[in-house]
Structure 1
Amino acid sequence: MKTPIFPDVFSLREEHVLITGGGTGIGFAVARSMHDAGARVVLIGRREAELAKAVESLGPGSSYLVHDITQLDAAAPLIERITKEHGPITSLVNNAGIHLKKPAIDTTPEEFQRVLTTHILGAHALCRAVEPSMIQRKHGTIIFMASMASLFGIPQVVAYSAAKSAMIGMLRTMATEFSAHGIRVNAIAPGWIETEMSRKAMEGDPARRTKIISRTPMAKFGDPSDVGWAAVYLASPASKFVTGAVLPVDGGASMGF
């Protein structure tokens, strides 16, 4: 009887994944799914208590380092340390982010810059740090966590929307530059997922939640694991001919009906 290959094409047994903002929410869901698929995972973030709790939950094959991705000059030393202690990174998930709900006219340059630094400059610094090793081995995947805010207009999130839109441009440029070297670069654009960040974004705004449900064909919020398993697909051999793509995981919200 022929041995089924279905599980193997989604296996991450040979992968070593770095996930930013991996201690909670969507980042932790990605860590959980990738770990379940066989990957070794390293979580980074600013809150050690959350990271330690996440690693304890994941078990063997997981670790963490406290790191602030806005400290751009620290990206290369971080990757060097991880490589020395745990081996080279084969997959990078740029998930860390901050949210700012504020009218565009009231958003200050300092607030705008803080959002851009976290989502764009921090992600770029880590990509620069991991890519040389990936190029040398001719193997690697980079996943950006985009957003519905990068696909259509959402009020009161001008800085966040700008950052997530810039992220899509960055991934497509990187895909054209690095895909020939065996590095695939893609993004996931989650819709409205039940996380602490999404709940905070809708605090005191029940009409907004109702509007989201009404314009989502599946008429519900997603689960963080929906994004986690999408990340497994993009990091696995199952997507070996997929690069430069933005995968909506949104219950149909981006169809624009």
Structure 2
Amino acid sequence: MKRLDGKRTVITQVDAFMGEELVSMFEKEGAEVIADTRDLRAPQAAQELIDEAGQVDVLVVNLAAAQPRTSVVDTDDDTFISMYEAMVYPLHRLVRAVLPQMMERRRGKIVVMGSASALKGMPNYSAYGSARGAQLSYVQDVGTEVAPFNIQVNALAQTFVQNETYFPESYQRTEDFKERIKGAPIGRLAHGWESAAMALFLAGDESDFFVGQVFPFTGGWVTR
């Protein structure tokens, strides 16, 4: 028997960030995957996705946005707000849309693919890092709220993971990347499947005792 046999699983923005690896891993483990590519910034998009999906046993929130590397004083309102419109509001709308059915069944898993940039201060990342931080705080609060309904909400906070959105092959050849990777004690990028395997664990029955947890997945860059 496979680990997610028959579990209807919604994975968002499968054309970005960890989407491709997540779909591959979850399908191999028997999940019935709804692989979605829509733009979730529109206020009604999340509810429409969940309505179309019907029963959702597992929701994997995979959201991505380009990282503006600007100083605090050079980060205008539009840039700051855009990070929240791409990664924070869609998260809340997705969770709000799927929770009623999970609460009725008293069973469900929500896994958020987050970023370790929220766990360690970095210059020129205030817009992106704070939005990623909001995701993680949201997971902690919602996770404790819905735990009595036997719903587990958890997050990966990752960096130094191979993916075409943040660590494409072209970037890996740059001096900037070669300098950055020195900060990871493991000395390499994680393979995408390694991150997907952690998400799979959080989506499966083995993780039932984890509530509102944020798991650093960083090769030692963050160790708390």
Q: Could you say whether these structures have the same fold, taking a TM-score greater than 0.5 normalized by the shorter chain as the test?
A: yes
Residue identity opposite 2:64 in structure 1? G
Distance in 2 between residues matched to 1:82 and 1:214, nearest whole Å: 43
For 1:174, which of 138, 142, 158 is the aligned residue? 142
Structure-2 residue corresponding to 1:80: 51
Measured after TM superposition, the shift of residue 201 of structure 1 is: 11
Match in the other structure for 1:244: 212
Q: 1:109 aligns with which of 77, 96, 108?
A: 77
**Does the CA contact (< 8 Å) of 1:217 and 1:251 recur in 2?**
yes
Distance 1:155 1:30 in 2: 30
Amino acid at match of 1:239: S
Letter in 2 for 1:133: Q
State which structure, 1 or 2, has the greater radius of gyration over its C-alpha atoms.
Answer: 1
SS in 2 for 1:97: coil
Equivalent AA in structure 2 for residue 70 of structure 1 = R
Shift of 1:126: 0.8
Deviation at 1:239, TM superposition (A): 0.9
Q: Where do 5+ consecutive residues of structure 1 fail to align? A: 1-7, 46-66
% identical aligned pairs: 26
Provide the rounded CA distance (Å) in 2 between the counterparts of 1:161 and 1:24.
18
**TM-score if structure 1 supplies the norm length?**
0.81
More deviation, 21-30/123-132: 21-30
Aligned match for 1:253, one of 207, 216, 221 = 221
> Contact 1:101 / 1:201 at 8 angstroms: preserved in 2?
no
Alpha-carbon separation, structure 2, partners of 1:179 and 1:146: 20
Gaps of 5+ in 2: none
Structure with the bigger percentage of helix: 1
CA distance in 2, matches of 1:253, 1:153: 12
Local SS of the residue matching 2:152: strand
Correspondence for 1:12 among 4, 14, 26: 4
Cα distance in 2 for residues equivalent to 1:215 and 1:44:
34
How far 1:26 moved relative to its partner? 1.0
Give the drift of 1:100: 2.1
Deviation at 1:198, TM superposition (A): 1.8
Q: How does 1:181-196 map to 2 (within 5 A)?
A: 181-196=149-164
Match of 1:41 among 26, 30, 33: 33
2:42: which partner in 1?
71
Q: Which residue of 2 aligns with 1:4?
A: none
The one-character-per-residue Cα deviations of 1:196-230 (angstroms, maximum 9, x if unpaired) are 22236985993431232212111001111111100
1:77 alignment partner, SS class: helix
Of stretches 23-32 and 124-133 in structure 1, the one that deviates more from structure 2 is 23-32
- Report the TM-score when normalising by structure 2: 0.92
